[in-house]
Amino acid sequence: MTIAAIEHSYVEVNGVTLHIAEQGEGPLVLLLHGFPESWYSWRHQFGPLAAAGYRVVAPDQRGYARSEQPGDADAYTLLHLAGDVIALIHALGEEQAVVVGHDWGAPVAWVTAMLRPDVVRAVAGLSVPPILPAGMAPPEAARQHYGDGFYQLYFQQPGVADAELARDPASTFRRILSSGSGDNPATATPRPWIVPDGSALIDSVPEPERLPAWLTPDDIDAFVREYANHGERAFTGPLNWYRNIQRNHELLTAFRGRGIDQPALYVGGDRDMVMSLHGIDELLASLKTVAPKLHRSITLPGCGHWTQQERPAEVNAALLDFFGHLPGPAPARA
């Protein structure tokens, strides 16, 4: 990984200033991070994808890290987020891009592909398969399956998780990233993230005795630096994405029954918490129905939730294989 070769800049899209990290020349590949991450979660993808002839761009998405954080919680719907992706592609001077998303970035990628097949030429999702049309199960369904302690329901309380996560960002990143890692013995049987009644969110994920092999103290420091700009509100923008899950269902009702028309790829880990969620087996079994041009569905043994960080070599190989089978512009070669 050569972080120095990555260029940083800012782009205004839809009235919001986004920070982007960029490397390489060629067909555009847009990398969308998840929660609670930033462009840095793709640090292992920039060099290999750029070396293969692609222009790799990873934004800090709306509300995250170095990007602007709109104050209105209603400004974080999937329509806003998909709009940012389309506007960013055009702001970069391109008509189309391959869009790759992980965790929350995956629903953004899938939904953007569903809404704008003219702009998204191909789509890949890591960890989260396409849950169309609105990206995630609505809160009432989550409550029915997991109870009130389910983390997405806990996140609905304004200001509560915000303050807990911002109190000690280094501890927050150590706890959350380590708890979801395939190296954590607790993920041998993946389970939903549940906050016990009367407990704080942050106490439901303990401080690790040591970091997983794929995560270093320098990585933790990097995530902390990326989030420093927003101070006590560092996690409010990211949490506002969850506070729009119900609204996403309301806004995207008209798209029920729509699928993914473009070439698609799915990669997940068998120790990922997502694999424990209600209905995931059916979703994975129906991938070819939802995305008829599915290239591959890959399960990485022993991999937890942080797919591209935990298994960069396998993820990079899968992405490059996928890109190599796409019609359209060829990669740039030196």
Residue 334, pLDDT above cutoff 60 = no
pTM for this model (two decimals): 0.97
DSSP for 73-128 reads GGGGSHHHHHHHHHHHHHHTT-S-EEEEEETTHHHHHHHHHHH-TTTEEEEEEESS
Residue 1, pLDDT above cutoff 70 = no
Query: In the annotation, is 295 catalytic?
Result: no
Is residue 303 a part of any domain in this protein?
yes
Q: What is the mean pLDDT of residues 29-40?
A: 98
Q: Can you name the residues that pair with 7 across neighbouring β-strands?
A: 22
What letter does residue 205 receive in the DSSP assignment? S
CA distance 99 to 92: 14
Residue 146, pLDDT above cutoff 90 = yes
CA distance 40 to 46: 10
- E-assigned strand segments in the chain: 7-13, 16-23, 28-32, 55-59, 97-102, 120-126, 264-269, 294-300
The pLDDT assigned to 61 comes to 98
Is residue 226 a part of any domain in this protein?
yes
User: In one letter, which amino acid is 113?
Assistant: A
What letter does residue 279 receive in the DSSP assignment? T
More confident residue, 4 or 134: 134
Is residue 187 a part of any domain in this protein?
yes
Which of 35, 11, 10, 33 minimizes the C-alpha distance to 241? 35
Percent of the chain with pLDDT over 90: 95
Is residue 251 a part of any domain in this protein?
yes
Query: In the annotation, is 103 catalytic?
Result: yes
Q: What is the mean pLDDT of residues 47-56?
A: 98
Rg (CA), the chain: 18
Quote the tokens at residue 247. Answer: 């609204």
On whether the CB atoms of residues 262 and 121 are closer than 8 A, the answer is yes
Q: Which of 97-106, 134-143, 324-333 has the highest mean pLDDT?
A: 97-106
Is residue 307 a part of any domain in this protein?
yes
Is residue 197 a part of any domain in this protein?
yes
Structural domain boundaries, residue 305: 3-324
User: In one letter, which amino acid is 139?
Assistant: P
Res. 263 pLDDT band, cuts 50 70 90: very high
On whether the CB atoms of residues 145 and 112 are closer than 8 A, the answer is no
The pLDDT assigned to 15 comes to 97
Q: What is the mean pLDDT of residues 24-53?
A: 98
Residue 48, pLDDT above cutoff 90 = yes
Rounded-to-10 torsion of CA 54, 60, 62, 66: -140
CA distance 252 to 81: 13
Catalytic-labelled residue, pool 60, 103, 183, 219 = 103
Task: Give the chain's domain count.
Answer: 1
CA distance 219 to 316: 19
Question: What CATH number corresponds to the domain at position 146?
Answer: 3.40.50.1820
Per-residue pLDDT tens digits for 67-90: 999 999 999 999 999 999 999 999
Is residue 332 a part of any domain in this protein?
no
The pLDDT assigned to 2 comes to 59
**Average pLDDT over all residues of the chain:** 96
The pLDDT assigned to 332 comes to 79
Per-residue pLDDT tens digits for 174-230: 999 999 999 999 999 999 999 999 999 999 999 999 999 999 999 999 999 999 999
Is residue 10 a part of any domain in this protein?
yes
Which range (34-43, 163-172, 306-315, 323-332) has the least confidence?
323-332
CA distance 275 to 241: 21
| Helix axes 217-227 and 169-179, enclosed angle (nearest 10) | 120
Q: How far is CA 301 from CA 35, 188, 305, 314, in A?
A: 22, 10, 12, 11
* Residue entry with tokens 């869009």: 99
Per-residue pLDDT tens digits for 275-333: 999 999 999 999 999 999 999 999 999 999 999 999 999 999 999 999 999 998 889 76
The pLDDT assigned to 4 comes to 64
Quote the tokens at residue 18. Answer: 């986004």
Res. 137 pLDDT band, cuts 50 70 90: confident
Residue 157, pLDDT above cutoff 70 = yes
* Residue entry with tokens 């987020």: 81
